Structure 1
Amino acid sequence: MSDSQFGLVLIGVSTGGPRTLEEVLPFLPATLPWPVLVAQHMPPSFTASLASRLDGLCPLEVREGVSMEELRPGRIYIARGGTDMVVAQRGSKLVIVNRPESPAHTWHPSVELMVQSAAGLVPAEKLIAVQLTGMGHDGAQAMTDLRKAGGRTIAESDETAVIFGMPAELIKRGGAECVLPSGKIAQQIRQWIGRA
């Protein structure tokens, strides 16, 4: 377990994600004390430009995650396309590791692997997982397990999700602590971190 006092916000998103991220991430304040990790299903050539665009919209610094980069509060890390971004420990620090795409997982960057890796290093009560728009079920089981362990979870509601597949799967498995439209998710994250 890391000695770090902060927790992590973990966001999984697929189809319709770039627009939905613009409805969530710009509303997280520059003073947010936890790093934010985003696994957006995208091919390799698109995630750097996504990070750059979001960086221009957000109070927090947004960057594409680089292997062995230390996780720091005040930053949002976008998983690099063509890899699976996981959380690892180096000494007392939490770092990003970009692994080759896992053949055991259908979607990449993998939400499931990102959440599992964080849950193995950070106490559940210091983790918030958010399932946004997308097809399939990537991340649903890991987020459900996290909620059972005491973590906080949010599923985007049907009213704003471009594709309700990923959030619906989290809800179906009993893994969503709350279901919110995209415009209310940042506020909930801020409230939970303020009480963590």
Structure 2
Amino acid sequence: MKKVLIVDDSSFVRKILSKIISQLGYTVDTAKDGEEAVKKILHNDYDLVTLDIEMPVKNGIEVLKEIMDVKPTRVVIISSYTTENADITFKALDMGAITYITKPGKLGVDLKKIEEDIKETVKEVSELPLSRLQTRTEIKEPSAKNYPSEKKYILIGASTGGPKHIEDILKALPENYPNPICIVQHMPKDFIPTFVKRLNSVSKLKVTEAKDGEPVDTGKVIIGKGGYHLNFEKKNGKVVCRLKSDNNNSLFVPSVDEMFKSALKAIEPEKIVGVLLTGIGSDGAEGLLELRKAGAITIAESEETAIVYGMPREAYNKGAVKKLLPFPQIIKEIIKIGADRDVQKAQSR
């Protein structure tokens, strides 16, 4: 039976999380502050720790500092989704936390909206091999390539575990990389500006949050804007972004499926490369299948490196994936696309 430690200074939050997680059949333990949490983590074997950031005595960042080197642990941050909390949440991810989920509010409506997300996240992350904690992919920057003038459009979708992957991809791309990149990362809308700022600090390419009517040009990395779907339109011979309000009560806004499907309305399929990375659920699988059927290159992350294999698995099972690759190989494929004509050949799995 799996064992989970809930760390939060709010007795209400501890009670609510205990109730939700125990419904999975897991044994639940609690700690009211960081100091108690460190003692319990070092003397017990937990399959997962949910960790509040702002606590008395010892905060969540201090807890991560103390435990990760001596006892690597699967940690999920419990966060209030505000712009102010974005920086500290990303810092926690840098220190080894795997992902973050919404802190339950005091209104029943908030709890109903996040209960399933908590259950699914806890269930998936508790299965993650400890060997994958703190792993980052460093690809040596390639020597300058002679890229052809005909560009590809690289469309990337990710959820749980995605922020670190996306950082690693952008770190590896040379400054003369010709292919525009559009990314949908499941993330609270208030976190997106901080995420864009972080990406700009590591990327040689310009990273922006999507704006309606923005051209999708060479040398650009465009991140889907929180609260809107990232769509595309052909206008005066150029591909531009269109921000679309959600009318379908979608689980994720922006949605990876929406981005993939919309691309086919504005871009020739042979110029599209769809990439589906780590993540919980199935978003992106249907869209990737449409891309493959139309003749686009489709790539998904394999189970051996995905933090959560949910989204890539769904796509693979649907027959949507031409190339199922470990993450380091995906980075290499993205680098060479456009320089290596051979990658354009259709491949069967």
TM superposition score category, shorter chain reference: over 0.9
RCO comparison, higher one (Cα < 8 Å, 6+): 1
Residue among 316, 320, 323 paired with 1:171: 316
SS in 2 for 1:80: coil
Instruction: Judge which range, 164-173 or 184-193, deviates more.
Output: 184-193
Q: Does 1:123 align with 2:258?
A: no
Q: Does 1:92 align with 2:241?
A: no
TM-superposed CA distance for 1:163, in Å, is 0.9
Runs of 4+ off more than 3 Å:
none
Q: Which residues in structure 2 correspond to 1:55-74 (within 5 Å)?
A: 55-74=200-219
The answer for the alignment partner of 1:9 in structure 2 is 154
TM-superposed CA distance for 1:73, in Å, is 0.6
Q: What letter corresponds to residue 116 of structure 1 in structure 2?
A: K
TM-superposed CA distance for 1:67, in Å, is 1.0
More helix by share: 2
SS in 2 for 1:70: coil
Residue among 157, 174, 177 paired with 1:32: 177
Q: Which residues in structure 2 correspond to 1:41-190 (within 5 Å)?
A: 41-103=186-248, 105-190=250-335
The answer for the alignment partner of 2:121 in structure 1 is none
More strand by share: 1
Partners of 1:186 and 1:102 lie apart in 2 by 34
Residue among 318, 321, 338 paired with 1:193: 338
Q: What letter corresponds to residue 243 of structure 2 in structure 1?
A: N
1:27-85 CA deviation, whole Å, 9 max, x = no partner?
12221212100001112111111111011111211111111111111011000111111
SS in 1 for 2:337: helix
Partners of 1:123 and 1:87 lie apart in 2 by 12
TM-superposed CA distance for 1:125, in Å, is 1.0
TM-superposed CA distance for 1:5, in Å, is 4.7
Aligned-pair RMSD on alpha carbons? 1.6
Q: Percent identity?
A: 37
Q: 1:102–1:139: structure 2 CA closer, same or farther, 3 Å change rule?
A: farther
Partners of 1:67 and 1:157 lie apart in 2 by 33
Partners of 2:233 and 2:193 lie apart in 1 by 22
**Does the 8 A contact of 1:28 with 1:59 survive in 2?**
yes
Q: What letter corresponds to residue 278 of structure 2 in structure 1?
A: T
Partners of 1:152 and 1:145 lie apart in 2 by 11
**Does the 8 A contact of 1:128 with 1:153 survive in 2?**
yes
Q: What letter corresponds to residue 160 of structure 2 in structure 1?
A: T
**Does the 8 A contact of 1:152 with 1:177 survive in 2?**
yes
TM-superposed CA distance for 1:101, in Å, is 2.4
TM-superposed CA distance for 1:192, in Å, is 2.8
Consecutive unaligned residues in structure 2, runs of 5 or more: 1-148, 345-349
TM-superposed CA distance for 1:22, in Å, is 1.8
Consecutive unaligned residues in structure 1, runs of 5 or more: none
TM-superposed CA distance for 1:8, in Å, is 0.7
Partners of 2:326 and 2:176 lie apart in 1 by 23
Partners of 2:263 and 2:174 lie apart in 1 by 22
Instruction: Judge which range, 30-39 or 179-188, deviates more.
Output: 179-188
**Does the 8 A contact of 2:152 with 2:337 survive in 1?**
no
Instruction: Judge which range, 99-108 or 172-181, deviates more.
Output: 99-108
SS in 1 for 2:300: strand
Partners of 1:89 and 1:122 lie apart in 2 by 8
Partners of 1:47 and 1:99 lie apart in 2 by 17
